Amino acid sequence: MYRKVNVPFELYEIQILTASDEELARISEEMGLALNVDEMKRIKEYFRSKGRNPYDIELQSLAQAWSEHCCYKSSKYYLRQYLLEAAEADYVISAIKEDAGVVEFDDEYAYVTAFESHNHPSAIEPYGGAATGIGGILRDVLCMGAQPIALIDPLFFGNLDTPYEGLPKGTKHPLYLLKGVVAGIRDYGNRVGIPTVAGMVFFDDSYLTNCLVNVGCVGIVKKDKITHSRAGGPGDLFVLAGGKTGRDGIHGVTFASAELDEKSEEEARGAVQLGNPIMKEPLIHACLEVVEKGLLTGMKDLGGGGLSCVIGEMALAAGYGAEVYLDKVPLKEEGMAPWEIWISESQERMMLTVRPEHIDEVLYIFQKWDVPATVVGKVIPEKITRIYYKGYKIYEMDTEFVTAGPEYCRPYISKKPEKELHEEIEPPADYVKVFMKMLSHPNVAFRDWIVRQYDHEVRGSTVLKPLQGRMNYETHGDAAVIKPTKSFKGLAITADVNPWMCKIDPYWGAASSFDEMVRNLVAVNAIPHSFNDCLNFGNPEKPERMGEFVECVKAIGWMAKGTAIPCVSGNVSFYNETPYGAVAPTPSLLGIGVVEDVRKAITSDFKGNGIVILVGETEKEFGGSLYSVVMGQRCHRVPRTSPERLKAYTDAMLESFKKFEVMACHDISMGGLAVAVAEMSFGRGVGFEAARELSFIELFSESNTRWVVELKAEDAESYVEFFKNRGLKAEVIGYSEGEMLNFKTFAIGLGEADKAWRRGMSEYLV
């Protein structure tokens, strides 16, 4: 089936024209292509029409381009149906089409966002996997010509108290993974000098064999400097800039497009790339300098699939083809076969297209920054990609055939939680005990062990930090606020998803996650402006998993369209599944809000001597709630929401911030009102006295679209009136004062509660 070609380097002809279906499957398996027989047959047909067999490099190239990771073959159909329409708004400059979304910030600037997963590599090698995740997302933003200004990292692990003896074979302990991932993000993000300002960490058994590492990045670019991922025209030179190419990260995308198992460790180590932030840091400067000087026609980062994906896509996006001289690519090691060079995912590389008259200037700038840059090819008029290696032509395919990956409309089965589960929510026998359990739950407890290891202030533009309140004893903020330009306009950034809710009811869980994202932005006085989604699911070939995906996408599309908040970029990660099970459906959302004046951003800590008001409507909605988990009570009713209601409350809240001097605001999410109030108290050591007895439903239900607001006493009445006049609900529930958390139903000393909350997660980590 394989014939060595008589050339002075390693090259094989793969005899697929004569291969049977079984042999095609074997070829795919043996070459690590992860293509199925139908896909292999399509390739066979193509080469039959060309009258020849493919070379190894051509098959490998197709395997990259047609992987789930690169071409979204399982998700595209449903994304188009439910989500693409939600990408529209008149201020969106570029959505979905490129590596990052581009949205208008003001007359002069646009902001750029990207969000993706780095799950499989992080499960195998947490430090390197997470670090290169940060590296990759920075490049996605950089390739639009933008200066990265913030990093975001939602993380998902198995429970920290998992006994070591109970670990499935080949699985690493969640503590090891958490520490490794945080160290990877820390050492890369801090070194490269971009602040990590937001994120989340969530523990659930479903992530035990498959942790999730999502990484987001926000950048800022002058509108007239936005650079696109396409070449200018024939004759443009392809310049490969940055790190050298090695054998690290070969088959990264095909590895990411299959389930992990106990053998993945030994088989896939080589698929994990190695990061080098000290190559990235000057690479960013050099790229931005050539952008600023207007020396490029296009730029794209090398991510999944390496050179094989970037060159064809850049040429074809402009309506052309490419000629590549593969032996010009600077290598880390000798003896690499051409196909390895072509698909390697070595890090810290960018592809630029440059008019020949600008090439000397571009190469000088890179040399000045000590960043290697090499001409490796040129744009040609016909839509063909050709590769030469040491004078031999080793690759010639129609670019459109390579990039037109398959698309599947996979069958799915939707969950019907109300039929499968039953309600059994009861009030607690011992309120204090239950409340303490909730506060110390690792999904709620203080995150400073993680947050302080990330430099969240480098660049000097972080106005609202992730931790807020008195020095060294802060509380969690709802969203970080960055001031990206000279003006006082800012960007609010948050990352949210509620996997417990999504597990019970993917539709309402995803809708609730969207609601939470919007609430967090509103809480800091930001206008919700756009969002990205990173959709993490199990094996899409299983109809139940596909059902979870479709329900989540439907819900997000519905909420986005109804609230007119556009989805500008995103990523789908399937196959987060092992023989031990799949991850909870995890549609992570990265929300961006615009803050009209950063000096008016609102913090979450009680300032004291104020009136505390609950805005929103509370129902008995405990599905996926912290209360139900802590109590071990089952409940199918995941909190409902609607875009109309969310929009009405959002508008009213933002209007109220203009009319009233709001001292503090916090959204109500996991743990309900009681936990929200407690977090506000912890920030400055200011207690809470309820105005009346609050029921367990009022205290612990996680109904959507609710906030807690602190105001001066004299404003309280007119504030409540303001909402009532709009047909919305707001109520005085207590006072920010004293040294107790007194809900009338029960009370506990603030110090005791504070201690439980601060230690809940970190006690596992020291």
Partner 1 sequence: MERDEIRVAVLRMEGTNCEDETVKAFRSVGVEAESVHVKQFYSDMIRFEEQRSIFDYHCLVFPGGFSAGDYIRAGAIFSARVKSALRKDIEEFIKMGYPILGICNGFQVLVELGALPGFDEDRPVSDKPEMALAINDSSRFECRPTLLKKESKKCVFTRKVNKNTVMFPVAHAEGKVTFPSGKEDEYVERLLSNDQIVFRYVDDKGNYAGYPWNPNGSYFNIAGICNATHTVFGLMPHPERAFFGYQVGKREGYGDGYCIFRSVIDYLEKL
Point out which residues bind partner 1 (CB under 8 A). 186, 190-193, 277-279, 281-282, 364, 367-370, 451-463, 470-472, 483, 488, 598-599, 603
The angle at the Cα of 367, spanning 361 to 373, to the nearest 5 degrees, equals: 80
Cα–Cα distance for residue pair 237/239, rounded to 1 Å: 6
Nearest to 644 by CA among 705, 703, 562, 523: 562
Sequence letter at residue 574 = F
Cβ proximity of 582 and 536 under 8 Å:
no
Active site residue 69: yes
* 42 vs 179, beta carbon nearer partner 1: 179
- 3-class secondary structure, 385: strand
Cα–Cα distance for residue pair 339/357, rounded to 1 Å: 31
* 361 vs 400, beta carbon nearer partner 1: 361
Please list the alpha-helical segments (H only) found in 391-430: 399-403, 417-420
Nearest to 381 by CA among 315, 320, 314, 313: 320
* 281 vs 754, beta carbon nearer partner 1: 281
Cα–Cα distance for residue pair 342/404, rounded to 1 Å: 19
* 148 vs 252, beta carbon nearer partner 1: 148
Cα–Cα distance for residue pair 183/206, rounded to 1 Å: 23
Q: How far is the CB of 493 from partner 1 (least distance, A)?
A: 16
CA-to-CA separations, 444 to 329, 673, 679, 723, in angstroms, rounded:
49, 13, 10, 30
Active site residue 358: no
Cα–Cα distance for residue pair 64/341, rounded to 1 Å: 13
Q: How far is the CB of 452 from partner 1 (least distance, A)?
A: 5
Nearest to 67 by CA among 419, 420, 427, 574: 574
* 453 vs 633, beta carbon nearer partner 1: 453
Cβ proximity of 535 and 553 under 8 Å:
yes
Cβ proximity of 449 and 761 under 8 Å:
yes
Nearest to 665 by CA among 475, 389, 385, 433: 475
Cα–Cα distance for residue pair 472/492, rounded to 1 Å: 23
**Rg of the chain, C-alpha, whole Å:** 26
- 3-class secondary structure, 326: helix
CA dihedral 297, 302, 307, 308 (to 10 degrees): -100
Q: How far is the CB of 703 from partner 1 (least distance, A)?
A: 31
Structure tokens at 321: 């083809």
* 2 vs 364, beta carbon nearer partner 1: 364
**Residue 559 half-sphere exposure toward CB, CA atoms < 13 A:** 30
* 367 vs 718, beta carbon nearer partner 1: 367
Whether the CA torsion 705, 707, 713, 714 is positive or negative: it is negative
* 9 vs 764, beta carbon nearer partner 1: 764
Cα–Cα distance for residue pair 87/569, rounded to 1 Å: 8
Q: How many helices (H) and strands (E) does the chain have?
A: 27, 32
* 449 vs 735, beta carbon nearer partner 1: 449
β-partners of residue 393 are 388
Q: Active-site residues: which are they?
A: 69, 118
